[in-house]
């Protein structure tokens, strides 16, 4: 009697991951510091009892959050791909959550299959501190910020540009070309129209991001919002690659990787598309 062929349990699994970056030294695994990749790889190793490598769509810096980071790993396991999210969550600490998991083709790659990434930076401009916003925003109360001037400065960024002015040193990337698909700066709505909201959100979507790009960009953009630099001056600076004039990097805690885009993503939008709620602050009663 002929025996049946063995069933292969090898699979490539994609994950949508949320994490609070406060206590992490970034995404990438490090020998002596806690990282998101390291925590998830350690959990995977406990489950399958051997090392597993996790590949992320991008590397967030120390202190940066993610609402829908994407990663994948290869594993030979009878656990169905759709169940890896719940299995991993039972092993992970409270500052990491796997929102979803799914099987992907063997040639699908979390980094190289992605067509865009989107980041949001949140500024909290009220003169009084707010404990519940502190982990997710830069409390910038030194001078009023004009979001319309900031938007005017962002508009010329859309397109294919060499953004060396916003490229930190110690990066292994050989060039600074970036395709910026969208760049917006908005002041959030407030329940009472006569009160200006103290929250400003800057969002940039691009094919990829340079090392430190968003934080350097925001650090310079607040000068435009203050009125000490014009939108045209902002544009001229990055077009002429005056990296020495970009001296300040905005704090990491205000930055969040919102989501990553793919031509054919195997998970529904509710898992990955809008998972970081807009922060709102009620206005003072009349």
- For the annotated catalytic residues, the residue numbers are 61
Return d(Cα 47, Cα 61) in angstroms, integer. Answer: 27
Q: What are phi and psi of 267, to 5 degrees?
A: -115, 150
CA nearest neighbour of 250 among 128, 116, 119: 119
Answer whether 9's CB lies under 8 Å from 77's CB: yes
Return d(Cα 147, Cα 122) in angstroms, integer. Answer: 12
In DSSP notation, 117-165 reads EEEEEEEE--SS--TTTGGGSEE--SS---HHHHHHHHGGGSEEEE-GG
Return d(Cα 173, Cα 166) in angstroms, integer. Answer: 13
Q: How many CB atoms lie within 10 A of CB 51?
A: 9
The strand pairing partners of 13, in sequence order, are 73, 103
Return d(Cα 209, Cα 131) in angstroms, integer. Answer: 30
Residues 248-261 as b or e (16 or more Cβ within 10 Å = b): ebbbbbbbbbbbbb
Answer whether 176's CB lies under 8 Å from 163's CB: yes
Answer whether 37's CB lies under 8 Å from 29's CB: yes
């Amino acid at each position: 009697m002929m025996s049946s062929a063995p069933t292969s349990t090898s699979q490539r699994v994609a994950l949508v991951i949320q994490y609070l970056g406060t206590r992490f030294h970034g995404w990438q695994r490090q020998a002596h510091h806690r990282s998101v990749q390291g925590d998830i790889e350690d959990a995977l190793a406990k489950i399958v009892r051997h090392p597993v490598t996790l590949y992320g769509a991008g590397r967030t810096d120390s202190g940066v959050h993610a609402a829908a980071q994407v990663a994948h790993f290869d594993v030979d396991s009878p656990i169905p791909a759709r169940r890896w999210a719940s299995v991993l969550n039972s092993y992970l600490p409270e500052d990491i959550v796997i929102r979803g998991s799914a099987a992907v083709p063997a040639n699908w790659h979390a980094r190289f299959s992605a067509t865009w990434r989107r980041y949001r930076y949140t500024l909290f401009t009220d003169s009084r501190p707010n404990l519940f916003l502190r982990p997710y925003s830069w409390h910038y109360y030194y001078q009023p910020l004009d979001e319309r001037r900031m938007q005017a400065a962002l508009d010329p960024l859309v397109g294919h540009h060499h953004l060396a002015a916003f490229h930190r040193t110690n990066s292994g990337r050989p060039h600074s070309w970036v395709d910026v698909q969208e760049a917006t700066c908005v002041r959030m709505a407030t329940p009472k129209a006569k009160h200006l909201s103290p929250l400003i959100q800057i969002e940039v979507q691009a094919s990829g991001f340079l090392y430190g790009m968003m934080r350097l960009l925001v650090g310079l953009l607040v000068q435009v919002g203050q009125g000490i630099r014009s939108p045209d001056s902002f544009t001229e600076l990055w077009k002429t690659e005056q990296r020495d004039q970009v001296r300040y990097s905005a704090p990491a805690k205000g930055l969040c990787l919102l989501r990553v885009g793919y031509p054919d993503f195997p998970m529904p939008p509710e898992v990955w598309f809008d998972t970081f709620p807009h922060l709102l602050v009620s206005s003072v009663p009349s």
